[in-house]
Amino acid sequence: MSNAIETSGLRYRAGKSFEIRDVSLHVPEGAVYGFLGPNGAGKTTTMRLLLGLLRQDAGDITLLGHPMPQGYVEALAKVGYVPERPHLYPTFTIGESIAYHAAFFATWDEAHARDLAARFELPGDRKVAALSKGETGKLMMLLALAQRPRLLALDEPTDGLDPVVRRDVLEALLDYVSSSGATVFISSHLVHELERICDWIGVMDRGRLIAELPMEEFRAGIKRLRVVPGARGSDAWKSAPFAVLARHEGDARGEQWLVRGWKPEMAAAVEAQGVSVREVMDLDLEEGFVELLRSFRAPAGEPSNGAR
Amino acid sequence: MSDEAIARLERMVRPALTGATVLLLSLPTALHGQASVYRARLDSLRPRLAAARHAADSVRALRAVLPTDSVSTPHLTLLVNPQVQELVRRAAQQADSDLTRAFGARTAVLRNTRFAVGIDTSARERYYGSPVLTMWSVDTAQHVTRESSEYGTLQAVSTRLRNHGAHDITASLDQPLRDWAKRDIPWSTADIGNPDNMRSQLVGAGTDVGMQCTAGSVTACEKGLALAPTRDRITEWYSAAQRRELVMRRGWAWRRGSQAATFDACVDRADDARCLELLRAHESEMSDEGIPSILRMSLLRFALDRGGPGAFDRLATDTGDIGSRLAAAAGMPQPALVSAWRDAVLKPEHATEASDPVVLGSSLLWCAGCLALALWRSRWS
Amino acid sequence: MFAAMLRAQWRWARLPIALLTVLAFAIPLLSVRLLEASDPRYVMATMQQWAVAYAALAGLVGLFLALAAWSSDHRGRHVYALALPLPRWRFVLNRYAAGAMMTVVPTLALLVSAFLATRNGVVPVGLHTYIGALALRFMLASLVGFSVFFLVASSSARMAAYVLSAMVAIVVADILLNSAGLDYSLTSHIMDVVFAKPGLLAAFTGRWMLLDV
């Protein structure tokens, strides 16, 4: 499978205190790739680098087969971009915004634009400056979808939208993806939202990509184990065949370990270290995400203190 | 003035200058409590201080340019200091040649005049940060020029010499010609002013003779240029409407007093007799030029250019009236000369700056430069 | 694509440009209608006074067109413009071309007005009308003004701060030179260079006269 987006050793310094470092992304074609990270992690900067809006200090970027930023003209013609903040001209009406945007894209689908405008209930004569946050979000999504892109780069597209609008926007997005097979690169800190639609995730923190894996693998690999260490088992976590991201000192019922790379057949190996595995619990994406960040931020070699 | 005399003068001036400066500096502290009383005295000291400074500067300037060498051309003798000797030599050669071409044998009068030229590096007042160029006529002690030596180029020095030469040659001419000319006879047409200005002066003469001359009347041109006699300038130079306008523009003081009624009749009722009455009462205050006198120079230079070699000598030696002297110089009848001159002045070569290829081209280049810079900015490159 | 950009810029600039177009139409008519005398000297003096209005108007046209070209992009931090699939130099060129084209509107108004103003034989003997030359000059000055402001407006706020600082520094340097007793004005020196031909703003100087010798 080829990648719609591929980066290696990406580096960019923004100001004195923030730096994107050694980001190597691989977004498979046709995937819905969730780009997760807390606020200030560098998601927006990375997305701007990917689209050639910023120029990297080092590293390579390939977007839909085009090297960036050199090939930005060809690449951007196939990308529907919804930026984090509304960027449309506020003095335009919705109709004018659509007409203006359409002029730049050879693949513009006028009928689809009309359909979406009707579906999103966007009147053509309303001024962009007078639109609510939800309407602005819908208009930006309309513009991105009606150009029939091969890649949708969505930077927090539903941030601040009410649940109804969010559902409308995501539905339109999924409809398009299912019919076109386009790749979606969507950044968000709303983890639950991504959990439903993404098949790949990448997690960014402090300017670095700390994880990139298929959603299934993420879900399956990150578990919470309730264990009871034996007399010789207090340091047993160190020799476990999986990564222990966090340990929660427990009560008499034992400890809780947050682990990554768990497989059921590993239980025997742990038991052999004198640790009894009492329960294996599934985690949702948000919990996994939070624990992942904690483990990334913990000092090297130590699992984070997971007391909550 | 000898070295010793200059040194003596300097010795006299310097203590006064130093004393005045010390006094000036110490006064504010000493007079703190009675500032208002002493400020007046302090102010009165300032002109004296300035005069002392000026005297010191003059002495210094004299010393700085004290000539030690001389430069000679066929008609010019110049005393120079070594610093500018070569520059002055070349400038003098150029000026001599131009003056000879313009004034012919009359240039010989310049042999009586000696000029001094020098660069004063010690002057207190420095123009644009450069030393001061000083030039004067040694014998008459006139035409002292002090200007930035930034302008002390070959061109500037030779222009100065040409101007001084033209002045001295004009001064050597007979009184009627000088009275008519009203100013130094220019050594070239370019020295009078640009053609646009000449055209503006003629068109905007503000008199009927000026307007008629513009419209093609040679007689009007001759009257306006004082080549033909004018018996009554108020009626011959101005139309009735112009007379009324003259009263309106000049007669604000006549609105009151004994002339008020006459003024109102002239202005409000356009009664030309009343206008005439007022203007006659104030005839001495009116301009004595039907056409601005700068155009006399234009005509004179035109005649000399038309006449070729020997034209100036014919002008200077002819004994007729001014018109016939100009005609003699030009080698053509007076009406033809005036008519040709008028055509030359009004020749429609005027172009606004928009059509000026330099402005047009450079403006478009600047536009392209701004655009290139906008494109070059990293965000858009 | 260019048409869309032209439409957009026209939309942003149309109000100030409409106002300036009205002024461009009014000035030649007023300058001739308000003449009190037909004396060429007076006519030229009056025309010379109106010249300032033409030059100022051209500068304003340039300023507003340049602001209109970039203000909306500035508001969105240029993200929209940069995310469009066309070479960036072409985007800037289109913006410039659209703005430059719009200088035609007030210029045409001025041309028509100048023609109407001088149609009824108001030209005194010896004077000529310079309708085309004046309009050409107006357009040239508008273009130069637009280009300069376009450059500044397309730059960042930091660049604008640099330009402003440089201007302040020149004025301060002038004051220091003056107080040091040097008869040298940096400002006037720069003004000379800028306004004398072939200086940057030479198109704004000289005789802007509808009726001239």
How many beta carbons lie within 10 A of that of residue A230, not counting itself? 13
* The pLDDT of residue A81 is above 50: yes
Q: What is the pLDDT of residues C15-33, one digit of tens each?
A: 999 999 999 999 999 998 8
**pLDDT average, residue stretch B108-114:** 82
Contact C125 B206 (CB under 8 A): no
> Among partner residues B203, B354, B373, which is closest to C140 by beta-carbon distance?
B354
Give the per-residue pLDDT at C188. 82
> Among partner residues C40, C147, C182, which is closest to B203 by beta-carbon distance?
C40
Q: Which residues of B touch C91 (CB under 8 A)?
A: 380
Give the per-residue pLDDT at B116. 75
3-state secondary structure of B77: strand
> Among partner residues A81, A91, A104, which is closest to C1 by beta-carbon distance?
A104
Give the per-residue pLDDT at B309. 87
Provide the number of structural domains found in chain C: 1
Contact C79 A85 (CB under 8 A): yes
For C86, nearest residue in chain A (alpha carbons): A73
Lowest mean pLDDT among A40-44, A227-231, B308-312, C207-211: A227-231
Q: Tell me the pTM.
A: 0.74
Q: Residue C136 pairs with which residues in a beta bridge?
A: none
Contact A90 C86 (CB under 8 A): no
Q: What is the pLDDT of residues C75-134, one digit of tens each?
A: 888 888 889 999 989 999 999 999 999 999 999 999 999 999 988 767 888 888 889 989
Give the per-residue pLDDT at A96. 93
Instruction: Domain of residue C130: give its range.
Output: 2-155+204-212
C169 contacts chain A (CB < 8 A): no
Contact B360 C140 (CB under 8 A): yes
> Please, which pLDDT band fits residue A288 given cuts at 50, 70 and 90?
confident
Burial of A30 by CB count in 10 Å (0-12 exposed, 13-18 middle, 19+ buried)? middle
Contact B352 C37 (CB under 8 A): no
> Please, which pLDDT band fits residue B195 given cuts at 50, 70 and 90?
confident
Average pLDDT taken over every residue of chain B: 78
Q: Which residues of A touch C8 (CB under 8 A)?
A: 89, 92, 96, 100
> Among partner residues A53, A79, A96, which is closest to C79 by beta-carbon distance?
A53
Q: Is the peptide bond before B292 cis (omega within 30 degrees of 0)?
A: no
Q: Is residue C173 part of a domain?
A: no
**pLDDT average, residue stretch B233-247:** 89
C86 contacts chain A (CB < 8 A): yes
Rg from Cα positions in chain B: 29
* The pLDDT of residue A149 is above 90: yes
Give the per-residue pLDDT at A307. 35
Instruction: With residue B247 as reference, give the H or E element that holds it.
Output: helix B240-250
Give the per-residue pLDDT at B22. 43
> Among partner residues B128, B367, B377, which is closest to C147 by beta-carbon distance?
B367
> Please, which pLDDT band fits residue B23 given cuts at 50, 70 and 90?
very low
Q: Which residues of A touch C80 (CB under 8 A)?
A: 83, 87-89
Write the CB contacts of B166 (distance below 8 Å, at least 6 apart in sequence).
B99, B102, B103, B184, B185, B186, B187, B191
Contact B370 C147 (CB under 8 A): yes
Compute CA distances A307 → A259, A276, A291, A303, whole Å.
Answer: 15, 21, 11, 12
Q: Which residues of B touch C156 (CB under 8 A)?
A: 379
Contact C126 B362 (CB under 8 A): no
Q: Is residue C63 part of a domain?
A: yes
d(Cα C25, Cα C57) in Å, to the nearest integer? 11
For B197, nearest residue in chain C (alpha carbons): C213
- Against chain C, the chains showing at least 3 CB pairs within 8 Å are A, B
Closest residue by Cα to residue A34 from A221, A234, A203, A171? A203
Query: Chain C closest CA to B143's CA: distance in Å?
Result: 23
For A104, nearest residue in chain C (alpha carbons): C1
Query: What does CATH list as the number for A3-214?
Result: 3.40.50.300
Q: Which residues of C touch A139 (CB under 8 A)?
A: none
> Among partner residues C133, C144, C212, which is closest to B367 by beta-carbon distance?
C144
**pLDDT average, residue stretch B38-58:** 65
The token pair that represents A202 in the structure block: 């990448």
* The pLDDT of residue A211 is above 50: yes
Give the per-residue pLDDT at B122. 55
Contact A73 C85 (CB under 8 A): yes
Q: Is residue C61 part of a domain?
A: yes
The residue written with tokens 């398009």 in the block is A176
For C152, nearest residue in chain B (alpha carbons): B374
Query: Chain B closest CA to C27's CA: distance in Å?
Result: 18
> How many A/C residue pairs have CB atoms within 8 Å?
59
Best mutation target, B203, B245, B247, B358, to test chain C (most C CBs within 10 A): B203
Long-range pairs for A275-280 at CB < 8 Å and ≥24 separation? Answer: A275/A227, A275/A228, A275/A229, A275/A230, A275/A233, A275/A236, A275/A237, A276/A227, A276/A228, A276/A229, A276/A230, A277/A225, A277/A226, A277/A227, A278/A226, A278/A227, A278/A228, A278/A253, A278/A254, A279/A225, A279/A226, A280/A223, A280/A224, A280/A225
Give ranges for CATH 3.40.50.300 in chain A: 3-214
